[in-house]
Amino acid sequence: MVKREKSLMRQLIEERGIKDIAGVQALVKELTARFIQEAMDAELDEELGYSKYDYKNKQTDNSRNGSYKKTVSSSQGDIELTVPRDRNGDYEPQIVKKHQMDISDIEDKIIFLYSQGTSTRDIEKTMQEMYGIEVDATRVSKITDKLLPMIREWQNRPLESVYAMVMLDAIHYKVREEGVVVKKAVYIAIGTDLEGKKDVLGLWVGAIESSKYWLGVLNGLKNRGVQDILIISVDGLTGFSEAIAVAYPQTEVQRCIIHQIRSSTRYVSYKDVKAFTAVLKPIYKAPTEESALEALGELERTWGAKYPAAIRSWREHWDELSTMFKYPEQIRRIIYTTNAIENFNRQLRKVTKTKSAFVSDDALLKQLYLVTMHVTDKWTMPIKDWGSILMHLMIYFGDRVNVRL
């Protein structure tokens, strides 16, 4: 069964009052049965060419003809399925074949292959050669579409009221839209809560990156319960700070130093980049803002005449580049770059790199969601030295950090 977001599972457990491992196992078994049931219903939809009750699109003399009960063994124990039938007897179930009584791990196979970036053609070939199951691209799409309600639920799940840090970034993909390949941005927010644990707060597929869309993302976080964010780390997108100020006026903004270095060295000749960055490094490695400004002055004296635009970019954005200097090293190394989100983006690209273009926004979102579930499943421990970090945050932000020690 596809893993759902951990807080969502906790929510189901709490709603049902589950207190022991047996109850958890029963819940997983129920969700497994539900997924297989929906997959078989999707198979019959494909066989008949129309969805249940969608009689306007019916173009066959065949139709649904009730169902029958079938008990199969699975990795979660025995599961009772309701197998749909068609009137002409043409429908041959593929996800669970007619005489198949053991489906251990079959429910994971197609979704797992899809999550690894396997093409629908290769999924079709693998399922046939290894498991004797016939699926085509349309059926793979229908089966993986069963993820979409889970994704919507995950995207709209309630969040913590306060986050210590949030990192915002976007990654770009090509998607087919009305027969034309267009560039889309996937907006990503990763938050660190007051217990020091990271989580992906959301993934949003939208038009090419803009501050207006980011304002919508931030307002969406507010609507899901995020009342306050102490520090946000961002890249250098124009208008980003204004969007944050509208949604979270008290939040401090740290512009990513790595993005700033890349941006400023665009003005520098390739032969001078190494020497330029050597003089640049003491700025962001400085122990205090005062010494950082002295280092910036040295950079200007050394290279200002030759590369004034590069120096000017540091001066113009200094308020947001220097936020980190008020904090100790443990906090500074978390917020001064968006490395955490860049690392996450690399995990996404590792799976999606073989795709020249996705067939739709939903196809892109399904794959990114599956990778996200896999990656965040390992994010179980708080950030190193979180106790010390939290104490500093409590001093800096006072009543905005409401935790019980």
CA distance 397 to 230: 8
Q: pLDDT tens-digit profile of 194-217? A: 999 999 999 999 887 788 889 999
Residues 22 and 116 grouped into a single domain: yes
Residues 139 and 167 grouped into a single domain: no
Residues 364 and 227 grouped into a single domain: yes
Residues 19 and 122 grouped into a single domain: yes
Q: Tell me the two tokens of residue 206.
A: 């939208």
Residues 42 and 138 grouped into a single domain: yes
- Does residue 344 fall inside a structural domain? no
The pLDDT value recorded for residue 5 is 43
Boundary-marking domain end, from 114, 132, 152 = 152
The pLDDT value recorded for residue 392 is 94
Residues 117 and 171 grouped into a single domain: no
Whether this model's pTM surpasses 0.75: no
Cα–Cα distances in Å, from 53 out to 38, 64, 224, 363, 389? 16, 10, 34, 26, 57
- Does residue 382 fall inside a structural domain? yes
Residues 363 and 403 grouped into a single domain: yes
The pLDDT value recorded for residue 3 is 46
The pLDDT value recorded for residue 4 is 43
- Does residue 232 fall inside a structural domain? yes
Which residues does 7 contact at the CB level (< 8 Å), separation at least 6? 157, 199
The pLDDT value recorded for residue 28 is 76
Which residues does 138 contact at the CB level (< 8 Å), separation at least 6? 46
Residues 235 and 319 grouped into a single domain: no
Spell out the long-range contacts of 340-344 with Cβ–Cβ below 8 A and sequence spacing 24 or more.
340/167, 340/190, 340/198, 341/167, 341/168, 341/169, 341/188, 341/190, 342/169, 342/258, 344/188, 344/190, 344/200, 344/375
Residues 360 and 217 grouped into a single domain: yes
Residues 166 and 103 grouped into a single domain: no
Tens of pLDDT, residue by residue, the chain (405 residues): 444 444 555 666 777 777 776 777 777 778 778 778 887 888 888 888 877 777 777 778 888 888 888 888 776 678 888 888 888 888 888 777 777 776 656 546 666 666 565 566 666 666 665 555 566 666 666 667 777 888 899 999 999 999 999 999 989 999 998 889 999 999 999 999 999 999 999 999 988 778 888 999 999 999 999 999 999 999 877 778 889 999 999 999 999 998 899 999 999 999 999 999 999 999 999 999 999 999 999 999 999 999 999 999 999 999 999 999 999 999 999 998 877 888 898 989 988 888 888 888 998 998 899 889 888 988 989 999 999 999 999 999 999 998 665
- Does residue 345 fall inside a structural domain? no
Query: What's the structural domain count of the chain?
Result: 3
**Domain membership of residue 118 as a residue range:** 6-152
- Does residue 346 fall inside a structural domain? no
The pLDDT value recorded for residue 123 is 64
- Does residue 279 fall inside a structural domain? yes
Q: What is the CATH number of the domain that holds 378?
A: 3.30.420
The pLDDT value recorded for residue 220 is 96
Residues 322 and 395 grouped into a single domain: no
- Does residue 347 fall inside a structural domain? no
Residues of 258-294 as b/e, b for ≥16 C-beta within 10 angstroms?
Answer: ebbbebbbebbeeeeeeebeebbeebbebeeeeebbe
